Amino acid sequence: MFEVASANLLISIAIIDRVKMRLMYWFAESSVNRKRRFRTSEVDKFGTMKLGARLIAPVIILLLSLTTELTKAEVITLTPETFSDKVKEKDTAWFVKFCVPWCKHCKKLGNLWEELGNAMEGDDEIEIGEVDCGTSRAVCTKVEIHSYPTFKLFYNGEEVSKYQGKRDVESLKAFVVEETEKAAEKAQLEDKEL
- As annotated, the active-site residues are 103, 106
- C-alpha closest to that of 84 among 99, 96, 100: 96
In eight-state DSSP terms, residue 78 is: P
Instruction: Determine phi and psi for 55, rounding to 5 degrees.
Output: -85, -35
- C-alpha closest to that of 101 among 168, 162, 148, 163: 148
How far is the C-alpha of 159 from the C-alpha of 143, rounded, in Å?
Answer: 8
How far is the C-alpha of 81 from the C-alpha of 61, rounded, in Å?
Answer: 35
